[in-house]
Amino acid sequence: MLLRSRGVVAGLAAAAAFVTGVVGCGQHQDSCYGPTNKVEHVRHVKRMQPGAPGAAYGPKGPLEWGQVNFLHTTDTHGWLEGHLKEQNYGADWGDFVSFSRRMKHTARSMGVDLLLVDTGDLHDGNGVSDATTPDGTKSMPIFSEIDYDLLTIGNHELYVTEVAYQMFNEYARKWGDRYVTSNVKVLNQTTGQYEYVGATHRYFTTAKGLRIMAFGVLFDFTGNSNASQVLKAKDMVKESWFADALASKQPVDMFVLFGHNPVRQTDRASTFQTVVDAIRRAHAKTPVQIFGGHSHIRDFSVYDDASVAIESGRYCETLGWVSVSGFDASNSGFRGVVPNPRGVRNPSRPARPGSRSPFVYSRRYLDWNRKTFIYHSRVGGGEGEFDYHSGERVTGDIGKVRDELRLGDVYGCAPQDWCISCAPFTDKKKNIFPGVIFPAVSAVVLNKTRADRSRMILGNTGAIRFDLHKGPFTYDDNFIVAPFRDVFLYIPDVPFDKASKVIDQLNKGPVSKRRDLVSMPVPEDECTNPTLGYMSRRDIREERGVVRRQEAVVPGYVTKDDWGTDGDDTEHSEIPNYTIPPYWEARASFPKDGSNPDKVDLIFFDFIKTKVLNDLGAGYTDDMVQCYVNCSFSSQDFMLPYAKLAWQENKDNCPVV
């Protein structure tokens, strides 16, 4: 179903196949958006999820291929469909299947190695992963279609017990020793023992003979359910298996240290330095190649002359590229066939000026779109030669899942864009909090028996995960904006003077509060690199995502890292980025005359209950807290009713331009 086409004739066949694919979504085609779009769009958009916009502006130059090369994904959070409303990131997981296979093929023909690495957080952020119970039931088989060489676990695999068991019982077995979880154990329900989810480490030899020792290290996460245990990095490096791995007589040409763990040493969540120090005590000069994640940014950080680290963004917006050369018999014993592949550019940059190490590197952050994938796979015939059947099949599978889960069902027509951080937190016109979230929770989060009471609603900004785009607001968008199931709790009749102080205390709390965010179900995930373009991006898109080809720099990542500003594969114009507070407050049913009520119902996510009670102080205890609407109504349940309430205009003919 939803076959990819290789030419006009095949395209018609694909269109015919597509008709049957439409059935699952809504009663009328007009009420669907995304892959189940109108048939004529299949003709225009031959690949990706139909309806997803193509990139207008492409890579600035070919990649530098070295003796060993890496493609890195992280924090995909279920975005396997790609970004249906954003042209920079329109490719889907099927396109990535084709691209990764093409790149492996290219590496083989050059006589060099290419390794695929993922660093976790596979759920919470998109309907494909989150509209099932448990999360990931439909998305994980699709994610697993990539032939990764190394995978490791993220904190989002450990919040929900069923998800932790899913990883332990299914995917750890499926991925075998390629799944490396050096400091994470999950309860084996059969034996009653906590056991490593995957391998503690992996020693392997690449196709070209490079000997690699890999460790997969999650940051010191503490917000996990009791189905798992996370060893702190400082304790992990004292484990006997770790000491044995470093003392092994087997030759190691390169250490790969990868983990759901920020690469920036100054990020308080990062524990990579602890592990690098431990490796360096035993191996002073062996290259340590680092791959990180969790903070959702593009970043590249130099640890020492022979150790560099890349972090590759989030949400299938970025594919990270690193290449390394310099291995030879004198420095590592490696006797691979080529010092450098010919006919292409090679890595040439030492980790830092004055390096005494023989190793040289390149790094690049690729935009996640077909234009990029086709350019770098160097297929002469372009579009027509790019796709593999396996990639096309995966694209079809994603379309089927979207149909089954009815992710394209339209609930309203959002009249404009609203962003999380491209405008000040107080900007009602552009910022999603005053523009959408406050009116939505004020209108929808309501216990009818207490409708006459003034109320204040508190939440953490991290619960809102993505910007809201102009156009059809679908079932999928509900998960994209608010994927978590944080139940609304409340304390009735709190004196206004007390309740109104809580928001400031939450936001101005002790510095350690910021650190606490790391271990919350909504981790910090703060973006120092805003990724979304606004307004100007719309200019180059036609209705329903079909793109007019034109070469123009569009808003997106403008990355500054330890090597400067030349890491982005595609040039973007910078998007403003404003700091937003960790918590928000909305008010409803306040006196019409503008005065303050004596008392309010104080409503908040279950997730911040302890903090709210702390800030209310003496006299406020757990037993005063009740469910507000009911004990299942959560942060996943207010956006769809709000779309039905506020955005019905043009619903059946909703423009995205």
Cβ contact 605:483 at 8 Å: no
Closest contact distance (angstroms) between CB of 83 and Zn ion is 16
Residue type present at position 361: Y
Residue 317 is a binding residue for Zn ion (CB under 5 A): no
Residue 149 is a binding residue for Zn ion (CB under 5 A): no
Beta strands in 316-397 (DSSP E): 318-325, 349-350, 360-367
Cβ contact 647:473 at 8 Å: yes
Residue 121 is a binding residue for Zn ion (CB under 5 A): yes
Residue 294 is a binding residue for Zn ion (CB under 5 A): yes
Cis previous bond, 415, omega within 30: no
Question: Which range, of 93-101, 154-162, 595-603, 649-657, touches Zn ion by CB under 5 A?
Answer: 154-162
Residue 130 is a binding residue for Zn ion (CB under 5 A): no
Closest contact distance (angstroms) between CB of 11 and Zn ion is 37
Closest contact distance (angstroms) between CB of 315 and Zn ion is 8
Nearer to Zn ion, 182 or 362 (CB): 182
**How many whole angstroms separate alpha carbon 187 and alpha carbon 367?**
38
Question: Which range, of 151-159, 436-444, 483-491, 589-597, touches Zn ion by CB under 5 A?
Answer: 151-159
Closest contact distance (angstroms) between CB of 219 and Zn ion is 8
Closest contact distance (angstroms) between CB of 160 and Zn ion is 14
Nearer to Zn ion, 123 or 406 (CB): 123
Q: Which residues contact 499 (CB under 8 A, 6 or more apart)?
A: 456, 600, 602, 616
Question: Which range, of 75-83, 247-255, 335-343, 373-381, touches Zn ion by CB under 5 A?
Answer: 75-83
Question: Which range, of 114-122, 204-212, 223-231, 620-628, touches Zn ion by CB under 5 A?
Answer: 114-122
**How many whole angstroms separate alpha carbon 584 and alpha carbon 605?**
11
Within 346-365, the residues that bind Zn ion by CB under 5 A are: none
Nearer to Zn ion, 153 or 491 (CB): 153
Closest contact distance (angstroms) between CB of 518 and Zn ion is 9
Within 596-625, the residues that bind Zn ion by CB under 5 A are: none
Give the pairing type, strands 113-118 and 68-73: parallel
Please name the residue that has the structure tokens 């120092």. Answer: 528
Nearer to Zn ion, 269 or 436 (CB): 269
Residue from 75, 392, 476, 561 touching Zn ion (CB under 5 A): that is: 75
Residue type present at position 300: F
| Total chain residues near Zn ion (CB under 5 A) | 6
Tell which residue, 545, 390, 595, 493, has the closest CA to residue 36: 545
**How many whole angstroms separate alpha carbon 567 and alpha carbon 365?**
6
Closest contact distance (angstroms) between CB of 77 and Zn ion is 6
Residue 157 is a binding residue for Zn ion (CB under 5 A): no
Distances (CA, A) of 90 to 363, 411, 484: 22, 22, 24
Closest contact distance (angstroms) between CB of 408 and Zn ion is 25
Please name the residue that has the structure tokens 């899913």. Answer: 166
Please name the residue that has the structure tokens 């005065």. Answer: 595
Closest contact distance (angstroms) between CB of 504 and Zn ion is 28
**How many whole angstroms separate alpha carbon 192 and alpha carbon 443?**
47
Cβ contact 489:604 at 8 Å: yes
Within 501-540, the residues that bind Zn ion by CB under 5 A are: 523
CB atoms within 10 A of CB 645: 14
**How many whole angstroms separate alpha carbon 155 and alpha carbon 18?**
37
**How many whole angstroms separate alpha carbon 614 and alpha carbon 621?**
9
Nearer to Zn ion, 54 or 78 (CB): 78
Closest contact distance (angstroms) between CB of 15 and Zn ion is 37
**How many whole angstroms separate alpha carbon 481 and alpha carbon 522?**
13
Nearer to Zn ion, 523 or 533 (CB): 523
Closest contact distance (angstroms) between CB of 159 and Zn ion is 10
Residue from 49, 119, 126, 155 touching Zn ion (CB under 5 A): that is: 155
Q: Which residues contact 389 (CB under 8 A, 6 or more apart)?
A: none
Residue 152 is a binding residue for Zn ion (CB under 5 A): no
**How many whole angstroms separate alpha carbon 152 and alpha carbon 116?**
12
Question: Which range, of 21-29, 152-160, 575-583, 610-618, touches Zn ion by CB under 5 A?
Answer: 152-160
Give burial (CB, 10 Å; 0-12/13-18/19+) of 132. middle
Question: Which range, of 153-161, 283-291, 393-401, 574-582, touches Zn ion by CB under 5 A?
Answer: 153-161
Nearer to Zn ion, 117 or 413 (CB): 117
Nearer to Zn ion, 75 or 569 (CB): 75
Binding site for Zn ion (CB under 5 A): 75, 121, 154-155, 294, 523
